[in-house]
Structures are given as structure tokens and as C-alpha cells.
Amino acid sequence: MNRLGKTQLAILSGPTVQARESAVNDTISSFNFFVASLSNFFFFASLNAFSLLPLYIKTLGGTESQIGWVMGSYSLTAILGQPLAGALADRFGRKRFLLLGSASGMLAAIGFAYSTQLDARFVLFRILQGIAYSSFYIANLTLVSEMVPSSRRGEAVGLFGISGLITIALSPAIGEQVIHRAGYSAFFFAAAVAAAACLLTSLALRNLSSTPQAAVASGLASLIPSARILPPILLALVFGLASGAVFVFLPTYATQAGLSRIGGFYIAYSAAAIGIRLTCGRLSDRWGRQRVILPALLLMGSGTLGLVWLVSPVGLLVVGTLTGMAHGLLFPALSAYTIDLADSEGRGRALGAFSTAMLLGHALASFTFGIIAERFGYRLIYLLASTIVMTTFMVLCRTRSRAQMLR
């Protein structure tokens, strides 16, 4: 065949080849999205089980402030580690950090299984879990954000997050049963098995896109993201503070109030968060991020305030539903908002900063609210957390109104 014939054949076959390549890429992306979601499920099935760790610390004679320090050491580690993890994930690839995170989580869970006295090992193992979270979560979330167009980013992040939200209900509920029937050691070993499943699942990811070398240099040149992502960072800080107040101290608060089981709270929280993501997942893509963030803040503030009075089985269901709805709306909108504002080559770094802000709020809640609860009681910490969220809501409303007036 002459050169002209080859050229004509290439022209005729070009669209078909491109269509096939596009179909193959879509198949790989769908497969990777499924694998990323499944590995996310196993990882958080292990990690969210440790919301029951305060009960074990209490069993060993620990105080509220010790609970705060042990639980907060995890958040503090992730605060320091996530910006670095985000930049290094941009440099070395997502999959390596998925494997590092799942392996670290498995080792930490095994370590807790052999810890029968409250000592420095608890802090060390929580630090290891902080490293696990920093490595795994930022790499996985960045990976998912790169699979979809910006017009569906909020929806994709929301659907992906369902795999983790399910474990908020399942892990504590199943964990309580394991503890009551087989003890804490079996509980920690079960968490280690879930982390091992995450490790094996992550190995199945394939054909991941590489980061351009220019992006690598940019990612390592500075761990500090662009100033334009400051708004979602500050909102993530407030969200983390309120969530930390709820999740860190609720188990011991409920026990003090005479409730032996709190699994209903986690089920309500998870069901509400999943339900609102399935039904309203595209709202931030269609209406804009801030139009979804505002009502989500109102829900979070209301749910947190409810813990001042609603300490009963039915009350916990109400609080779990309100705060779960807030999470289901707020987290995908804030994540997508952060990615929207970030440079394309620094998404890992930007998401690292976003998640760091959330955990900083969580750590502040653990350390400061633990001391306040020990001296003045639990109700005051939930009143303070709600006040902070409601104040943020009002400031954001006022800022938004001023911006619209200036247009």
C-alpha cells in the first residue's frame, strides 16, 4: 500500500481508534473508582472502629484529659503529616501512599491488641494511625478527584465518601458486639484484618496517571498551598472542631448519662449522610458550593447544640441525623471547593491542607474540650462548639451578602 493509502486508512480508522481508546480509559477509570472506594471502605472500617477506644482507656482507669491526649495525638500527627503526604503523593504517585497507609493502620491495630496497660504505647500507636491516615486518605481522595470532570466533582467525591460513611455506622456497632462477646483484643485484631484487606485491595489499582515533572517540582518547592484556598480551609477547621467535640467525647458522655449503647447514633449519622449524598449529591455542582455549605453549617450547629439536652436513645438518633446530614452536604462541597480553587498540579498539596485544617479542628476539640469537660462537664463543650459553628454561619452569610451587593 502506498503512502497515500496508508494516510487515508489512518484518517478513516482514526475516530474508531480514538473511540476504542476512550472506552478503554473509561473502563479503567470506572474500575479504579470502584477499587478506590472499596479500599476506602476497608481502611475506614478499621480506623473508625477506634471511636470506641475511649471506652477501653476508661476501662484501664484513664481520665477525660488522658482520653483527649491519646485521641488528639492521632489528629496532631495527621496535622503535621498531611501537607507533606500531599506533596510527596504528587511526587511519587498515589498508589505507594495507599499501601503505606494501610500497612501502618494494620500495625497500629495489632499493637493495641497487645496493650493491656495505659502507657506511652497508646500515644505511639495513635501517632502511627495518624501517619496511616495522612498517607492513605490524601492519596485516595486526590486519585478520585482526578478521575472526573470538574462539573461532576462534588457528586463524585460525595459518592466516593459513602464507602467511608458506611463504616461510621458499621464499625462501632459491630465493634460493640465484638467487645461484649470476645473482649478488646479480638476487637483490635478485627480492625487489623480490615486494614489488611485495604492493603490487598489497593494493590489492584492499575494504569494510574503520572504527575508532570513541573508539577513535581512545584509540589516539593512549597508545602504551603495557594492563599486562594483559604476560605474552604477555614471552614474545614470549624467543621473539624464540631465533629471532634461530637465523636471524641460522645461515648463517655453517653455512659455518664446512663446509656450503655450508642450504636444508634452512628447508624443515624451514617444513614443520614449517605441518604443526603445519594439524593442531593449534585447540588453543589449545580447551585454552587457556598449555597450548599451554608445550610450544612446550620445543620451541624443545630445537631451539636442538641447534645446539650438530647442525651437519650431517641435524642442521639435526632443528633445523629442532623450532624450526619451536615456531614453529607458539607464535606463533598468543601472538598470540591478546595479542588476548584487549587492549581491543577498541586491538588494533593491543596487537599492535604484542607484535611489538615479539619484535623486541626479535631485536635483542638480533643485537647481543649477534654480539659473543659473534666472541670465543667460535657454540656459546656457542646454549647461552645455549637456557638462557634453558628458564628461562622452568620459571618459567612454576611460576607456573601456584601459580595452580592458589590456586584
- The CATH code of the domain that includes 176 is 1.20.1250.20
* Residue 321 placed within a domain: yes
| Residue 180, domain member (yes or no) | yes
In a domain, 5, yes or no: no
210 inside domain? no
Residue 180 structural domain:
36-202+221-405
In a domain, 14, yes or no: no
Number of domains in the chain: 1
Does residue 86 lie in a domain region? Answer: yes
According to the model, what pLDDT value does residue 212 have?
A: 44
User: For residue 224, what pLDDT is reported?
Assistant: 57
Each of the 407 residues of the chain gets a pLDDT tens digit; together they read 554 455 444 444 555 544 444 544 455 567 888 888 899 999 999 999 998 898 898 888 888 778 878 887 887 787 788 777 777 776 777 788 889 999 999 999 999 999 888 888 899 999 999 999 988 988 888 788 777 666 677 777 778 878 887 887 788 889 989 998 999 999 999 999 999 999 999 888 776 655 444 444 444 445 555 667 788 888 989 999 998 888 888 888 888 877 777 778 888 888 888 888 888 777 777 777 778 888 889 999 888 898 888 777 788 888 889 999 998 888 888 877 887 776 655 666 777 778 788 878 887 887 788 888 888 888 898 999 999 999 988 888 887 666 554 44
* Cβ neighbour number for residue 217 with a 10 Å cutoff: 12
